[in-house]
Amino acid sequence: MNISRKSFFFGSAAATAAIGLKAMAQAPTGKIQGFDESIETKTDGPWQPFSDKKVRVGIAGYGVCMFGAAFSFQDHPNVEVVAATDLDPERCAKLAQIVHAKRTYPSAEEMIDKEGRNMDAVFIATDAASHADLVLRALDRGYHVCSAVPALLGERQLDRAPKLVEAVKKSGGLVYALFETTAFRPQAIAMRRIYEAGGFGQLAYTEGEYFHYSVGTGSIGSYKGWRIGLPPQYYPTHSNGFYTCVTHGHFTEVACIGTPADDIPIYGERKNPYGNPFRSEVAFFKTSDGGSARMTVAWGLPGYGGELGRCFGTKGCYRNDRFAGDGSIAGKLKLVRAGLPPGMTNNGHHGGSHPYLTDDFLRAILVPGHKVCVDVATALNTTVSGVYAHMSAMKGGETLKLPVFA
Ligand SMILES: NC(=O)c1ccc[n+]([C@@H]2O[C@H](COP(=O)([O-])OP(=O)(O)OC[C@H]3O[C@@H](n4cnc5c(N)ncnc54)[C@H](O)[C@@H]3O)[C@@H](O)[C@H]2O)c1
């Protein structure tokens, strides 16, 4: 990416200090929103084994969110964790211990380059700025790959989008999955089933929102400070996912309003690595269903935190965890989630979504014909639309046409 990972910060030393070397150095401690959710745990029956093979997985990244260990690869019966890495030796050792990795590497690049045929797949759980390039490297070396969100970071990485599509196409069947947690929240699973069965009729309107108060005392650390002053819509997947991961459709146009945060020192031109002035951004999209969507991402609005969404169609709507409308279709659907392998629970982080993303990825590798929910097209339609939303906000809400990924 061109937000050079070596020269991530710019401006004066004073500005750098002001925008939070403290935050950069934060260790993985304390409570982080999304990691303490208690949700509906019912399933539609026990998990059914789908293969007796094991996928040999390498895991990269054990930062503030300890994400490398948070998706239960180490507990899935079809996985052997063969390698672990983090640039920080202590974090690397801790990750290796928790996921029972046989080998460790000082960087993801080395793991990808040196594991050779001892590894089948890689989980990229490093900082957001590094995902796209590490995914491209893993695909190039012949590995299936899944990555934490977003698929790429910001306008300066938009050139990675066609490269990712091309790399997956050229890979001859390697699986790419974006681990967008919204996709396997109970609400999104229910809405996807209703949508696929035609229960909404024409989907006319979708709302999604990601409120995460993260300035001042609410701020969390990040590798080289990538979270500092981050444009809200550069992190759009938890809100946009309520449309893209429900319908597998895309947005066609966007107009977005940003709210400036002049009172918060890290926002404004030259005050953060992105030159971002906005604490919240509300995007209005046209959708490929011929409808519309309102997707909000807010960092600077205290008092509420959450990732929520709802869909409104000509035959009914889903909101507050319930479908209301034409019961003839939706009433016949199982709207609770599937069972999980023993040792994996759906009562955990981000609506209990993590183990479903892992299971979905493994099925795509092991079960012929199984397609991951958040494939490269959905990953990019979910992520790039947010980047354009921020570009629109920077132009005072100008309407922009969106690229479509297939
Ligand atoms: N709900 C969600 O889906 C959700 C929630 C939280 C975090 N995330 C994503 O998970 C990722 C990790 O989040 P975090 O807060 O732990 O990030 P972080 O910035 O705190 O940590 C990143 C870690 O990656 C390591 N790293 C960076 N480059 C590396 C490389 N080349 N090789 C090996 N290790 C490398 C760093 O040393 C650091 O420990 C982020 O991309 C974030 O966007 C998603």
The reply to whether 164 and 201 lie within a common domain is no
β-strand pairing of 322-325 with 316-319: antiparallel
The reply to whether 168 and 266 lie within a common domain is no
The reply to whether 172 and 219 lie within a common domain is no
The reply to whether 120 and 209 lie within a common domain is no
Percent of the chain with pLDDT over 70: 89
Ligand 1 centroid, distance to 377 Cα (angstroms): 22
Spatial contact of 165 and 405, defined as CB atoms under 8 Å apart: yes
CATH number at residue 191: 3.30.360.10
Mean pLDDT of the chain: 90
Spatial contact of 171 and 321, defined as CB atoms under 8 Å apart: no
The reply to whether 54 and 118 lie within a common domain is yes
What sign has the CA pseudo-torsion 400, 279, 210, 31?
positive
The reply to whether 289 and 236 lie within a common domain is yes
The reply to whether 149 and 93 lie within a common domain is yes
In a domain, 20, yes or no: no
* 353 close to ligand 1 (CB < 6 Angstrom): no
What range does the domain containing 107 cover? 31-181
Task: Report the chain's C-alpha Rg in angstroms.
Answer: 20
DSSP secondary structure string, 177-219? EEE-GGGGSHHHHHHHHHHHTTTTSSEEEEEEEEE---SGGG-
Best residue for ligand 1 mutational test, from 87, 107, 126 (most atoms within 8 Å of Cβ): 126
The reply to whether 120 and 244 lie within a common domain is no
* pLDDT band per the 50, 70, 90 thresholds, residue 41: low
Q: In what order do the strands lie in the sheet with 103-105?
A: 103-105, 79-85, 55-60, 121-124, 144-148, 176-179
Which atom of ligand 1 approaches the CA of 108 most closely? Answer: 32
Distance CA 98, CA 69 (A): 7
pLDDT at position 42 is: 75
In a domain, 9, yes or no: no
Which atom of ligand 1 approaches the CA of 32 most closely? Answer: 6
Pick from 128, 161, 181: which residue ends a domain? 181
Contact partners, residue 267, CB within 8 Å, separation at least 6: 229, 260, 261, 276, 277, 278, 279, 300
Pick from 148, 181, 214: which residue ends a domain? 181
Which atom of ligand 1 approaches the CA of 134 most closely? Answer: 31
Exposure on the CB side of residue 55, measured as CA atoms within 13 A? 30
The reply to whether 277 and 393 lie within a common domain is yes
User: What is the value of pTM for the model shown?
Assistant: 0.92
If one counts the domains in the chain, the total is: 2
* 139 close to ligand 1 (CB < 6 Angstrom): no
* 65 close to ligand 1 (CB < 6 Angstrom): yes
Pick from 181, 202, 232: which residue ends a domain? 181
In a domain, 22, yes or no: no
The reply to whether 108 and 52 lie within a common domain is yes
CATH number at residue 138: 3.40.50.720
Segment (H or E) for 149? none
Contact partners, residue 305, CB within 8 Å, separation at least 6: 33, 211, 212, 213
* pLDDT of 25 higher than 80: no
pLDDT at position 334 is: 79
Write out pLDDT tens, residues 170-211.
Answer: 999 999 999 999 999 999 999 999 999 999 999 999 999 999
